[in-house]
């Protein structure tokens, strides 16, 4: 595995799911990983899902990295700004930002938005806001990371997205399409500063929420959360990553390009 010893990383929304998987893989690579989220103590998660940023940070450290939990509600811009101030005060640099914080699935955790294939007019209008909120959070966090990385003339920003295969879920699909476009727009402005920006799409990930609602999914080609994490590690360890800046990437494609497997030794293939 690529060594990221000495790298300073921030993963947003890392209490559980893909964010936690990314943090754990970065820990295995030896990085110092700051993790944010609202679930700081047991019992705080929506829908009684397991996981907290405290537990994630402890697991990162146990795997060989250094995990540091910072409670943060990404709906509050001041809290987000303070995360970056703390990282700079403690480390003086930031090498990688992974924008994973996301609220679009919360209605599935508490059953407000089930079944997932219900037409948009049968879902509350708030479903739009919950899906698009994550796009704003990625923009805001990147807004604070960009000047740090530009001054360093080094850095990588990864927006976690999803390759939209077909129409059928307007709020979700527009949010993910917008995430890919956000990477392209930011990449164009940051390239001359030595900073790369990409969007990264996994396939079906075996998150706590997906496993809770497994009856709605075909799990035959599902991936672990760490599979996405290994893609992040590969990108962060690639000295030529700037050549990929602005692209919308698939975890499965990167697994072939960088020759890494999922934690069970398989190499799941996601076909949008």
Domains along the chain with CATH numbers: 8-258 (3.40.50.720)
What's the DSSP call for residue 30? T
Q: Which of 121-125, 141-145, 216-220 has the highest mean pLDDT?
A: 141-145
pLDDT of residue 270: 76
Burial per residue of 35-72, b for 16 or more beta-carbon CB atoms within 10 angstroms, e otherwise: bbbbbbeeeebeeebebbbbbbbebbeebebbbbbbbb
Task: Name which residue leads in pLDDT, 107 or 146.
Answer: 146
pLDDT digits (tens, 9 = 90+) for 139-169: 999 999 999 999 999 999 999 999 887 788 8
Task: Name which residue leads in pLDDT, 107 or 66.
Answer: 66
Q: Which of 17-21, 44-48, 165-169 has the highest mean pLDDT?
A: 17-21
Q: What is the pTM (predicted TM-score) of this model?
A: 0.92
3 state DSSP class of 155: strand
Checking if the pLDDT of 104 tops 60, the result is: no
Beta strands in 151-263 (DSSP E): 155-160, 195-201, 248-250
pLDDT of residue 180: 97
Checking if the pLDDT of 29 tops 80, the result is: yes
pLDDT of residue 203: 79
Q: Which residues are catalytic?
A: 172
Transcribe 242-269 into DSSP letters.
GGGTT-EEEHHHHHHHHT---TTS----
């Amino acid at each position: 595995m690529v060594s990221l010893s000495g790298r300073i990383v921030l993963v947003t929304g890392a209490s559980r799911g893909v964010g936690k998987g990314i943090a754990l893989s970065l820990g295995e690579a030896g990085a110092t990983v700051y993790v944010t989220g609202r679930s700081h103590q047991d019992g705080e998660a929506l829908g009684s899902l397991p996981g907290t940023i405290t537990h994630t940070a402890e697991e990162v450290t146990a795997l060989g990295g250094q995990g540091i939990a910072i409670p943060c509600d990404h709906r509050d811009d001041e809290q987000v700004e303070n995360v970056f101030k703390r990282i700079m005060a403690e480390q003086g640099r930031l090498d990688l930002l992974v924008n994973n914080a996301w609220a679009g699935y919360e209605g599935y955790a508490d059953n407000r938005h089930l079944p997932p294939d219900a037409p948009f007019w049968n879902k509350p209008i708030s479903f739009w806001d919950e899906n698009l909120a994550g796009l704003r959070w990625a923009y805001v966090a990147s807004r604070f990371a960009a000047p740090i990385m530009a001054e360093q003339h080094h850095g990588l920003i990864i927006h976690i997205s999803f390759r939209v295969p077909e129409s059928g879920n307007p709020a979700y699909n527009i949010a993910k399409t917008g995430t890919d476009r956000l990477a392209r727009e930011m990449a164009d402005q940051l390239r001359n500063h030595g900073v790369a920006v990409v969007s990264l799409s996994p396939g079906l990930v075996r998150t706590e929420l997906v496993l809770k609602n497994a009856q709605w999914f075909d799990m035959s080609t599902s991936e672990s959360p760490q599979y996405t994490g290994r893609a992040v590690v590969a990108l962060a360890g690639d000295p030529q990553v700037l050549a990929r800046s602005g692209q919308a990437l698939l975890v499965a494609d990167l697994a072939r390009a960088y020759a890494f497997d999922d934690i069970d030794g398989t190499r799941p293939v996601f076909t949008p």
